[in-house]
Amino acid sequence: MSEKIKTGVIIFAALLFLLYINSYILNFIILGVVLGFAFLEALKLYDIDNKNLVYIAIAFYTLAFFTNPLFVALLCILTIAAVIAHIKSDNMKIIAPFVYPTIPIYLIWMLYSEFGVAFLFWLIIIVASSDTGAYFVGKFFGKRSFSPSSPNKTIEGVAGGLLCGTVIGTIYGLCISDGFFQILCTSFLVAFFGIWGDLFESYLKRQNEVKDSGDLFPGHGGMLDRIDGYLFGVVALLWTLSW
């Protein structure tokens, strides 16, 4: 537990430092590194033995610096599908890592590039608060299992995480934007989908019979273990910002 908390504090402090610097190019590079690690871990979870695919994901990611990241992500998937059709491959699962985690990571860059660092931090603070609340509430009060995909998660923990993410996200959201109802809905939906993002990654790990996606962060596992909630949460945040 102490190792998990210590690593979490270090990661959060590093994020705060990077957000304080707010270097557009540096943040793009760092997110590219995140994509690289997450993509390689996803290859293992999907049981795809071709690490060279990560170069394709990174190559398309560089295009996101100059144009709309969502269209770049879709173009990437269409390109991979075209190649599969051309070589008549039966291995359609090769598209999977280009959908998850690649598209959501492109969307995280879209969130930052179009709405700024304050809204990127909004995503981080909601999901981080939800994760923390779910962990501690579940640890001390959790009794009833939430899902077969993740037996350690409890209904009590999920409820606690949802409440923490919504409350803290709403308080922060009111500091950067107007409209209480929209901010409340946004915080709730991001926390909600963040929880399901974590559950989805747990499902992938169970399918592959592994505890963690990697061992990059002591006490936390791999890159996907750290960002799974953000990968679902960013879609909810971008959607509510379009209202």
Q: Which whole-number Å values give the CA distances from 62 to 2, 74, 96, in the listed order? A: 38, 14, 20
Give the DSSP letter string of 130-193: HHHHHHHHHHHH--SEEETTEEEEEHHHHHHHHHHHHHHHHHHHHHH---HHHHHHHHHHHHHH
Residue 33 pairs with which residues in a beta bridge? none
Q: Tens-of-pLDDT digits for all 243 residues of the chain?
A: 577 778 878 888 888 898 889 999 999 999 999 999 999 999 999 999 999 999 999 999 999 999 999 999 999 999 999 999 988 887 889 999 999 999 999 999 999 999 999 999 999 999 999 999 998 998 888 788 888 878 788 999 999 999 999 999 999 999 999 999 999 999 999 999 999 999 999 899 888 888 778 888 876 789 999 999 999 999 999 999 998
Type and span of the H or E element at 212: none
CB 100 within 8 Å of CB 35:
no
CB 126 within 8 Å of CB 107:
no
Q: What is the value of pTM for the model shown?
A: 0.93
